[in-house]
Chain A
């Protein structure tokens, strides 16, 4: 079971690293922020699996703060970027 969970961890981390290409290539800033949003959710998923693997229920609070972090940075981007557009 633990090796299976570790393999899913590696797959999730690889999905983050593969998504980094979008950050370099993404023409508009909105796409870069989207990628950051996906990585935030992937990190929450990694934490959920890790809390099982390392038997640390405290990681669920860390996952909660990660979810909050992704929301904060995205709202900051949308508000600040849209202010200049009109």
Chain B
């Protein structure tokens, strides 16, 4: 039962990653791509981490997975903000004011 739940979680996580890549390729300007990217890989990784945590038995592994997810979530949010600010300052991405 747990394996089935983990499999479903990991599958949906992978779908989010694929959506993130499609968003990266198809969206017109940098801000849409940024939006697609940080959402998709943030949530995608969260689901995969949850699936992996279900499969991993020892509490040590589960704690490390949660730590990794938390660090990646905050880091990708901050970096998304930094790139957006840099893109706006350098006048890129469709000349948004």
Interface residues of A (CB under 8 A from B): 1, 4-5, 8, 11-12, 15-16, 18-19, 21-22, 28, 30-31, 33-35, 37-38, 41-42, 44-45, 48-49, 51-52, 57, 60-61, 63-64, 67-68, 70-71, 74-75, 78, 81-82, 85-86
Q: A12-B17, A42-B17, A78-B83 are in contact. Are A28 and B52 (CB under 8 A)?
A: no
Say whether chain B's binding surface is mostly helix, strand, loop, or mixed. Answer: helix
Pairwise interchain contact B41-A12, C-beta atoms closer than 8 A: no
Question: Interface residue tally of chain B, by bracket?
Answer: 35 or more
Q: Known pairs A34-B33, A52-B55. 13 more at Cβ < 8 A?
A: A1-B3, A4-B7, A19-B21, A31-B33, A34-B24, A37-B76, A42-B17, A48-B48, A49-B52, A60-B68, A64-B64, A64-B71, A70-B79
Interface centre among B49, B56, B86 (most CB of A within 10 A): B86
When A and B form their complex, which 5 residue pairs have the shortest distance between CB atoms, in order from nearest? A41-B41, A48-B52, A60-B64, A15-B21, A71-B75
Pairwise interchain contact B25-A28, C-beta atoms closer than 8 A: no
Q: A45-B45, A51-B52 are in contact. Are A75 and B82 (CB under 8 A)?
A: yes
